[in-house]
């Protein structure tokens, strides 16, 4: 399965999800969380931050997301969590 970076129409494609997440965290600018102002890597890690640190209601309020967008992001989080080696990603990002 190929993983495509969806940030700002980037479109870079990776063979494994770990490479895609590391790409998002290193090649793209970090962004501020709209809820708490913490600077987080863009892409998957930004979504993971928002959905683990904040409630769905806070996310919807801060990002103006529709319930469908929330559902899509929840699905993405589950999908990535089921296949990604988060330890490998964390190790890669610490270099």
Q: Which is nearer to Zn ion, 7 or 65 (CB)?
A: 7
The tokens of 57 are what? 């209601």
Neighbours of 5 (CB within 10 A): 21
Choices 53-61, 66-74, 76-84, 87-95; region in contact with Zn ion by CB under 5 A? 53-61
33 in contact with Zn ion (CB under 5 A)? yes
Is 12 one of the binding residues for Zn ion (CB under 5 A)?
yes
Work out which of 35, 62, 70, 84 binds Zn ion, going by CB under 5 A: 35
Nearer to Zn ion, 12 or 70 (CB): 12
Number of residues that bind Zn ion (CB under 5 A): 9
Please return the burial class of 51, using the count of CB atoms within 10 Å of its CB with bins 0-12, 13-18 and 19+: middle
Which spans of this chain sit near Zn ion (rule: CB under 5 A)? 5, 7, 10, 12, 33, 35-36, 38, 53
């Amino acid at each position: 399965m190929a993983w495509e970076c969806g940030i700002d129409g980037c479109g870079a494609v990776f063979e494994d999800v770990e490479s895609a997440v590391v790409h998002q965290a290193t090649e793209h600018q970090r962004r501020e969380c709209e809820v708490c102002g913490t600077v987080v890597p863009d892409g998957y890690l930004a979504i993971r931050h928002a959905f683990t640190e904040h409630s769905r209601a806070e996310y919807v309020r801060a990002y103006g997301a529709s319930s469908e967008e929330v559902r899509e992001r929840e699905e993405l989080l589950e999908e990535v969590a089921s296949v990604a080696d988060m330890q490998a990603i964390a190790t890669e990002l610490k270099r």
